[in-house]
Structure 1
Amino acid sequence: MTRPPEPKIDRSLTLHLRGDWGAANLHRVCGWISQELTDRCGPYTRVAIWNSRGYADAVRAVGRGEVDVALTTPAAFATAALDGRGLYTKEAFPELRALGVVPQRDRLVVGVRRTLGITSFAELREAKPALTLATSGHDRENHVGVGAHELLTRSGVDVTGWGGTILADERPWETFAHVLEGRADAVVHEAVMLPHWQEFGGDLHFLEVEQDVLDGLWADYSWPAATVEEGHFPGCPRFRTLDFSDFLVLTRSDLPADVAYAIAWVLGETREVIERQYRHLPPEKSPVTYPLDPVAMGRTPVPLHPGAAEYYHALPQGES
């Protein structure tokens, strides 16, 4: 079956990409793009990868033209930047375009110690316990902290107002340490495929987010809901919560079309390069949900750059 043609850019490029803190998955994706794109461009091509947090800061960096391409997660959180909602009320970025998504099936979940006897948000509101909650900081950049704040506030939860404490950290493994070492009796976080959750998940009740809260987050910010299937956490039933999926590869409309096509082609046609870095993990426990499907990678919450769209539209639909 005919595949979209391999790109060849004769001129040499200098590009700036923005990944994560330096040792996590977004930086890996940037390294993959850098290697495969450089192989197909002029001989003096240089690609720099800048450190980032991978959240709203990355969206703003590419929107302001500080970098050519940035990765952010979850993908849907960037949608509000197009028309200036939520985090972007003071600075909209209508020229944002997508080059694709790298699938990562994730959820933002709320768990409380089983010893508290709380199994729902209604019971949590009634009990008003003085929780020690581990999550990320609400600084209008960290998507975990922003998502946790919105979810809890709209659910009528006031941790500090009830006499509790919030332990705010930047990275998930810092938060998980608070739970594992007994410093926290509640947690709001993502990266649900990481093994830490299997270590302490059996000690938690995971709270289903109420439908009116999910509806409001979708209406106001375009944040979708998703399901955590029964048994994903030890002894846990199926429940609904906030979707936190996918790494979004962002650029602006002024990126040259041939470069946008080339990056999309790299994502879809050289996926083996990134997949083999995760195959020691089962797909459902992997930070990148393989096998990657190029057709699905072209379904983005932000409009595709026309150059990238050329690649995805050339794919045999339903074929990977």
Structure 2
Amino acid sequence: MPAHRGENATGGRPEEPKIDRPLTLHLRGDWGTANLHRVCGWVSQELADRAGPGTRIAIWNSRGFSDAVRAVGRAEVDIAMTTPAAFAVAALDGRGGYAGEAFPQLRALGVVPQRDRLVMAVHRSLELTSFAELRDRAPQLRLATSFRDGVNHVGLAAQEILERARVDVLGWGGRFLSDERPFESLDHVLTGRANAIVHEAVMLPQWQELAPDYRFLPVEDDVLAGLEADYGWPAATVAEGYFPGAGGFRTLDFSDFLMVTTSSLDEDVAYAIAWILGETRHLIEAQYRHLPPERSPISYPLDPPTMGRTPIPLHPGAARYYQALPAA
């Protein structure tokens, strides 16, 4: 029986897509200068090269969190990037931050791997090594994190961890220093305005700078288990020595950029985008090779089979690409 278009019948690479008709697509990236926008730009360029004359692809600014997922689910855009990938699972049945608005039609086109963690660190002058000690001493914390507005995933995750660990920052006389992006939060720490931080983007060099003066608190097992059971948020480990002078510890996984769409996206477009993610990956890798892989915002080298392991169901067109990859 002959292979269907995209299937790998000979053991070679999956067939390059060609779409004869013009496309009009709307994508959502990030604020404008970060990694999600870069991915959207890469995919848009390569898709336009393989689509009909007159193709138009717009990239809208976004926060890259639940706002991006909702925009896809509400058909405001065709495709969006969001991070961390696992946080989109709750949108399928309307749990957590998506309570009251489920999007069972969400589908994935692939993930762009990014090894990241959400961590909490406190200044060494507080002499704390655990959440248990934090509860016992109830110190005044000036805690830098992101906005806790139900959209920003950093602020959402920080709120969940602190509440489940019974850390009452305001009740203990402390305060939050809240911003949108990690750079402002890290600056609060480095300038002394903050004495604690809950944040991600652990590959940024500012973490290496602050680490000698800070202790990283392992998130307690019952908190991590509850987050996974309730929302599908997985736990992960930070390796010993990743932060200077710090041992290994368990915390919340904050990995991977997810490209999300809905089941209504045309199958040939979904296949083409998955093909672009896997077969032209060198184009995005080249933008990060000046950084060591373990310190890069995109964890290269990218591996197409891994990019097809998504926390929400793959779009059938995208699945066709990943299924056509040569066997390892």
TM-score normalised by length of structure 2: 0.96
Identify the residue that residue 252 of structure 1 maps to in structure 2.
Answer: 262
2:213 counterpart letter in structure 1: D
1:17 counterpart letter in structure 2: L
Identify the residue that residue 180 of structure 2 maps to in structure 1.
Answer: 170
* Superposed counterparts of 1:115-264, under 5 Å: 115-264=125-274
Matched, 1:2 2:12: yes
Q: How far apart are residue 43 of structure 1 and its match?
A: 1.1
Matched, 1:57 2:76: no
2:220 counterpart letter in structure 1: E
Q: How far apart are residue 90 of structure 1 and its match?
A: 1.1
RMSD value over aligned CA atoms?
0.5
Q: How many angstroms apart in 2 are the aligned matches of 1:138 and 1:156?
A: 17
> How many positions carry a matched residue from both structures?
318
Q: How far apart are residue 317 of structure 1 and its match?
A: 3.5
Q: How many angstroms apart in 2 are the aligned matches of 1:151 and 1:312?
A: 35
CA contact (8 A) 1:295 1:317 kept: no
Q: How many angstroms apart in 2 are the aligned matches of 1:167 and 1:268?
A: 40
CA contact (8 A) 1:56 1:142 kept: yes
Q: How far apart are residue 202 of structure 1 and its match?
A: 1.4
Identify the residue that residue 274 of structure 1 maps to in structure 2.
Answer: 284
What are structure 1's unaligned runs of at least 5 residues?
Answer: none
Cα deviation digits, residues 159-217 of structure 1 (max 9, x gap): 00100010000011010110010100000000000101011011111000111000000
Identify the residue that residue 292 of structure 1 maps to in structure 2.
Answer: 302
Cα deviation digits, residues 225-256 of structure 1 (max 9, x gap): 00000000010000000000000000000000
2:39 counterpart letter in structure 1: V
1:7 counterpart letter in structure 2: P
CA contact (8 A) 1:58 1:70 kept: yes
CA contact (8 A) 1:32 1:274 kept: yes
Q: How far apart are residue 316 of structure 1 and its match?
A: 1.8
Identify the residue that residue 96 of structure 2 maps to in structure 1.
Answer: 86
Identify the residue that residue 5 of structure 2 maps to in structure 1.
Answer: none
Alignment equivalent of 2:36, drawn from 14, 26, 31: 26
Q: How many angstroms apart in 2 are the aligned matches of 1:141 and 1:116?
A: 31
What are structure 2's unaligned runs of at least 5 residues?
Answer: 1-10
- Helix, strand or coil: the match of 1:79? helix
Q: How far apart are residue 115 of structure 1 and its match?
A: 1.1
- Helix, strand or coil: the match of 2:57? strand
Alignment equivalent of 1:108, drawn from 97, 100, 118: 118
Identify the residue that residue 74 of structure 1 maps to in structure 2.
Answer: 84
Matched, 1:17 2:17: no
Identity %: 72
Identify the residue that residue 308 of structure 1 maps to in structure 2.
Answer: 318
Q: How many angstroms apart in 2 are the aligned matches of 1:111 and 1:228?
A: 13
1:184 counterpart letter in structure 2: A
1:284 counterpart letter in structure 2: E
2:13 counterpart letter in structure 1: R
Q: Hey, which bits of structure 1, 4+ residues long, moved more than 2 A?
A: none
Q: How far apart are residue 152 of structure 1 and its match?
A: 0.8
Q: How many angstroms apart in 2 are the aligned matches of 1:246 and 1:23?
A: 18
Cα deviation digits, residues 45-99 of structure 1 (max 9, x gap): 0100000000000000001000000000000000000011001111000000000
Identify which range, 199-208 or 141-150, moves more after superposition: 199-208
- Helix, strand or coil: the match of 2:207? helix
2:313 counterpart letter in structure 1: P
